[in-house]
Amino acid sequence: MIKLSHKYSLVFLLSFAVLFSSAQEEVREYTNAGENHHCLKCHGQSFYTFYNDWTELDVRKIMPQEYYVDTVMFYSASHWDFKCTDCHTEDYQTFPHDGELRMEFLNTCVDCHGGDEDWEHFKFEDIEEDFNASVHSPETLPNFSCWSCHDPHSYKLDYRNTEDLISTISKNNDACMKCHNQESHMRLHTDEPFKDLATSHEFLPNQRAHYNKVRCIECHGDLDGEALVAHKILPAEESVKNCKECHSKNSLLMASLYKFQSQENRKKFGFYNASILNESYVIGASKNYILNVFTIVVFALSILAILTHAIILRISKKKNHGK
Ligand code: HEC
Ligand code: HEC
Ligand code: HEC
Ligand code: HEC
Ligand code: HEC
Ligand code: HEC
Ligand code: HEC
C-alpha cells in the first residue's frame, strides 16, 4: 500500500514538474512569420530588390533607415504575434506601394485595449487621460500619439517584467532621448529652436550618472497618477529640481521607480524586503560616509528582523502541528 502511494505521488510530482517547466518557458509559435517575411524581406534588410517591369531588370535599392523594421526586435516585442497587415492595410502586399496608402488610418492603443477587462490592470483609459493633459497632448502637438514613444515594431512591456532596473531605466529614457536628443525628430513636431538637454540640465552636477540611474519621468512626470508609469509629463518649470526629493531617505524614488517592485515584494515577502530594496538603493545614492554606515546598520537590522520573524513563524507553526 505504502509503496503504491509513493509511486502515485512520484507520478504526481513528475507531472507537476513538467507542467511547471512548460509554464515557465513559454514556447512561441511564430505562425505569422511566413506571411510577414513578404514584408520583412524588404523592410527587415538594409536594401531591397524588385523586378522592374518597364526595364525588365532586377533592381537593388537602399531601404531608408526610417522604413527599416528590425526582425528580431519585432518578434520579441509585446505585439510579436501580429501580422504586419493586422495593423497595416492588405494593399501593402503590392509594390510599388500606392502613394495614397500613407494616408491609412492606424489604430491607437486604446482603440484595441480600451474598455476590455483583460487589459484593465494597465489602466489604458487613465493613461490616455494623463497623456491628453501632458505637455505632449495632441492638442498642442497634433502629430504626437502613443506611438511617438511606443515604437509600434519594438515596444515591449518592460517595467513590469524587469529583473534589471538599470536596463529598464535606459530603455525608458531612450524613448524620451529619441526626440529630446535628436533635432531631426523634434522637427516633426515643432519649429521652436532646439534646446539641448546638456544645457537645460546644467543645474545637475553629474548628468550621466543621473540619466543612467533615474528615469526622466521621475523628475518630469506627475507621480500621483493612477497608472504604474507616469504619463502626465509636466511643463519644465513644474519639474523636480530639489535634490532632496531623491537624496534623502524618504525619497521620491521609493514612491515611483520602485512602485511596482515594492508592491510585488510586499505581497511576496512582506514589508521588510521592500524596505531593503529601497535602503540598498539609498546606499548607492549617498556618498556621505556616516550616512552609508547608518544605512548599512539599518540594512543589517532589517535582515535580522526578517530572520527572527521567520524563525518565530516556524516555531509557532511547529507548535501548532504538535497540537
Ligand atoms: C519590394 C520591397 C517591399 C515590400 C515587399 C514591401 N515594402 Fe513596404 N515599402 C518599401 C519601400 C521601399 C518603402 C519606402 C516608401 C515607398 O517607396 O513607398 C515602403 C514603405 C512602406 C510603408 C510606409 C509608407 C509611408 O510612406 O508612410 C509601410 C507602412 C509599408 N511599406 C508597409 C509594408 C507592408 C505591411 C508590407 C507587406 C505586406 C510591405 N510594406 C512590403 C518596400 C517594400
Ligand atoms: C501593432 C500594430 C503594427 C504592426 C503589427 C506593424 N505596424 Fe508598422 N506601423 C504601425 C504604426 C502605428 C505606424 C506609424 C508610426 C508612427 O506614426 O509613428 C507604423 C509605421 C510603419 C512604417 C513606416 C515607418 C514609420 O515608422 O513611420 C513601416 C515601413 C511599417 N510600419 C512596416 C511594418 C512591417 C513590415 C510590419 C510587420 C513586420 C509592421 N509594420 C507591423 C503599426 C504596426
Ligand atoms: C490592433 C490592435 C492593437 C493595438 C493598436 C495595440 N495593441 Fe497591444 N495588444 C493587442 C493584442 C491582441 C495583444 C495580445 C497579444 C498576445 O497575447 O500575444 C496585445 C498585447 C499588449 C500588451 C501585453 C504584452 C505582454 O507582454 O504582456 C501590452 C502591454 C500592450 N499590448 C500595449 C499596447 C500599447 C502601449 C499600445 C499602443 C502604443 C498597443 N498595445 C496597441 C492589440 C493591440
Ligand atoms: C512621452 C512618452 C510616452 C507616451 C506619449 C506614451 N507612453 Fe506609454 N509608456 C512610456 C514609457 C517610457 C513606459 C514604460 C515602458 C516600460 O518599461 O514598460 C510606458 C508604459 C506604458 C504602458 C505599460 C504600463 C504598465 O502598467 O506596465 C502602457 C499600457 C502604456 N504606456 C500605454 C500608453 C498609451 C495608451 C498612450 C497614449 C494614450 C501612451 N502610453 C503614450 C512612455 C510614453
Ligand atoms: C516624438 C518626440 C518626443 C518624445 C518621444 C518625447 N518628447 Fe518631450 N517634447 C517634444 C516636443 C516637440 C515638445 C514641445 C517642446 C518645444 O516646443 O520645444 C516636448 C516638450 C517636453 C517638455 C516640456 C518642455 C517645456 O519647455 O516646458 C518636457 C518636460 C518633455 N517634453 C519631457 C519628455 C519626456 C520626459 C519624455 C519621455 C517620457 C519625452 N518628453 C518624450 C517631443 C518629444
Ligand atoms: C533630476 C531631475 C531631472 C531629470 C532626471 C531630468 N530632468 Fe529634464 N529638467 C529638470 C528640470 C528641473 C528642468 C527645468 C530646468 C530649468 O528651468 O532651469 C528640466 C528641463 C527639461 C526640458 C525643458 C528644456 C528647456 O530648456 O525648455 C526638457 C525637454 C527635459 N528637461 C527633458 C528631460 C529628459 C528627456 C530627461 C531624461 C533623459 C530629463 N529631462 C531628465 C529636471 C530633470
Ligand atoms: C529624481 C531623483 C534625483 C534628483 C532630483 C537628484 N538626484 Fe542626484 N542622483 C540620483 C541618483 C539615483 C544618483 C545615482 C546614484 C548612484 O550612482 O548610485 C544620483 C547621483 C548624484 C551624484 C553623484 C554622481 C556621481 O558622480 O556618482 C551627485 C553629486 C548628485 N546626484 C547630486 C545631485 C544634486 C546637486 C541634485 C539637485 C540639483 C540632484 N542630485 C538631484 C537621483 C537624483
Span 157-202, pLDDT tens digits: 887 776 777 888 899 999 999 999 999 999 999 999 999 999 999 9
Distance CA 226, CA 138 (A): 20
Task: Supply 214's cell numbers.
Answer: 533615474
Long-range CB pairs of 244-247, under 8 A, 24+ apart, other chains included: 246/214, 246/218, 246/285, 247/285, 247/286
Give CA separation, 228 vs 40, 64, 155, 293, 320, in Å.
34, 36, 17, 33, 41
Strands 47-52 and 57-62: antiparallel
* Cell triple for 163: 529583473
Spacing, Cα 4 to ligand 3 middle (Å): 49
- Centre of ligand 1 to C-alpha 43, Å, is 7
Same domain, residue pair 91 and 137: no
Calpha distance 191→194 (Å, rounded): 8
Task: Give residue 270's pLDDT.
Answer: 36
Express as a percent the part of the chain with pLDDT over 70: 68
Q: Which of 50, 38, 77, 46 has its CA nearest to residue 62?
A: 46
Q: Which residue has the cell 523592410?
A: 43
Where residue 270 falls (left for φ over 0; alpha for ψ -120 to 50; beta otherwise) is left
Residue 81 sits in the same domain as residue 158 = no
Asked if residue 144 is part of any domain, the answer here is: yes
**pLDDT given for residue 284 in this prediction:** 30
Determine the Cα–Cα distance for residues 94 and 107; give it in Å rounded to an integer: 22
Judge whether 265 lies within some domain. Answer: no
Based on the fold, state whether residues 148 and 203 are members of the same structural domain: yes
Q: Are residues 139 and 217 in the same domain?
A: yes
- Answer yes or no: is 203 within a domain: yes
- CA–centroid distance, 287 to ligand 7, in Å, is 10
CB atoms within 10 A of CB 88: 17
Same domain as 166, residue 138: yes
Does residue 190 form part of some domain?
yes
Domain shared by 165 and 236, yes or no: yes
- Domain boundary at 77, 106, 135, which? 106
Number of domains in the chain: 2
Q: Is 116 in the pocket of ligand 3 (CB under 6 A)?
A: no
In this predicted structure, what is the pLDDT of residue 24? 47
> What pLDDT is recorded for position 54?
95
Q: What is the pLDDT of residue 225?
A: 80
CA dist 231 and 220 (Å) reads 10
Question: Do 225 and 165 share a structural domain?
Answer: yes
Instruction: Please tell me the distance between residue 213's alpha carbon and the centre of ligand 6 in angstroms.
Output: 15
Sequence letter at residue 23: A
> Is the distance from the beta carbon of residue 178 to the nearest atom of ligand 6 less than 6 Å?
no
Domain extent for 148: 112-241
Residues of the chain short of pLDDT 70, as ranges, are 1-26, 162, 249-323
Is residue 120 domain-shared with residue 231, that is, in the same domain?
yes
Residues with CB under 6 A from ligand 5: 135-136, 141, 148-149, 175-176, 178-180, 185-186, 189-190, 192, 216-217, 220, 233, 235-236, 239
Vertex 214 angle, CA 213 and 219, to 5°: 160
Please indicate, yes or no, whether residues 117 and 221 belong to a single structural domain of this protein: yes
20 within some domain: no
Show which of 58, 80, 106 is a domain's final residue.
106
pLDDT of residue 306: 63
- pTM summary value: 0.85
Same domain, 49 and 165: no
Domain boundary among 64, 91, 106: 106
- Please give the single-letter amino acid code of residue 4: L
CB-CB contact of 130 with 227 (8 Å): yes
- Measuring from each residue's beta carbon to the nearest atom of ligand 7, which residues come in under 6 Å? 203-206, 209-210, 213-214, 218-219, 240, 243, 245-247, 252-253, 284-285
Which ligand is nearest to the Cα of residue 110, counting in written order?
4
pLDDT at 303: 60
Starting from the CA of residue 50, give the closest ligand: 1
Residue 311: the pLDDT is 58
Residue 120 placed within a domain? yes
Ligand nearest to the CA of 89: 1
Alpha helices by DSSP H, listed for 228-288, are 252-255, 259-269, 271-285
On whether residue 182 sits in a domain, the answer given is yes
Cβ atoms within 10 Å of 201's Cβ, excluding its own:
13
| Statement to judge: residues 117 and 64 lie in one domain | no
Residue 252 has a pLDDT of 63
According to DSSP, residue 93 is labeled G
pLDDT, tens only, 55-68: 999 999 999 999 99
Our answer on whether the CB atom of 219 is closer than 6 Å to any ligand 6 atom is yes
